Amino acid sequence: MKIIMLGAPGAGKGTQAKMIAEKYQIPHVSTGDIFRANIKNGTELGMEAKKYMDQGLLVPDELTVKILLDRVAQADCGQGYVLDGFPRTIPQAEVLDEALNKLGEQIDYAINVDVPDENIVKRMSGRRACLKCGATFHLEHVPPKAEGICDSCGSELVLRDDDKAETVQNRLRVYHEQTQPLIEFYTGKGILKTVDGTVDMQDVFAAITAILG
């Protein structure tokens, strides 16, 4: 079972990807994690990617797909995998499709966790993080016991730059321009499934498992 997770930043697709991986005993493959592992291990592909990253440039699609295919060719991906964070654009999806076709493989499901922009802005701007121990809270859903103070270590909680409304809106704009076209791309292939990401996390997961069986 080969699955791609789609959805805007903050839609909760990473959380769902981990839950899918656990239930179906398949790896959760995050492109960020693969890059870090390759660079840490000093692989040839990792060193090539590092050249671009050190200059603040995006890693080219072909190289990203090479690193990805290297990961999914490993034994633990024999029964499938959940891709999180890739593809982000139509060209990436096309390169991935072409590479999988050569191996006689294809993606089985593209799952879109659908959440309206206004919900995402509210969801992310309500987050508060402890920079000391890494604990995270939400003013509405998981509030700290004492306002502005971390339950775990007693340090001050902050609104991270990433979670500020203007940053979130900018990330959403990029998502709509670059990534949302993938919804049409995978609809055309007959593998797109959309779930309502505004409901409780467990209800989102139940909707996904109903699709995957």
Residues labelled as active-site residues: 13, 88, 127, 160, 171
Do 211 and 192 contact (CB within 8 A), yes or no?
no
Place of tokens 């809106």: 169
Alpha-carbon span 15 to 191, nearest angstrom: 21
Whole-angstrom CA distances from 122 to 11, 126, 134, 142 are 11, 6, 21, 14
Could you tell me which residues are beta bridge partners of residue 158?
Answer: 129
Backbone torsions φ then ψ of 56, nearest 5 degrees: 75, 20
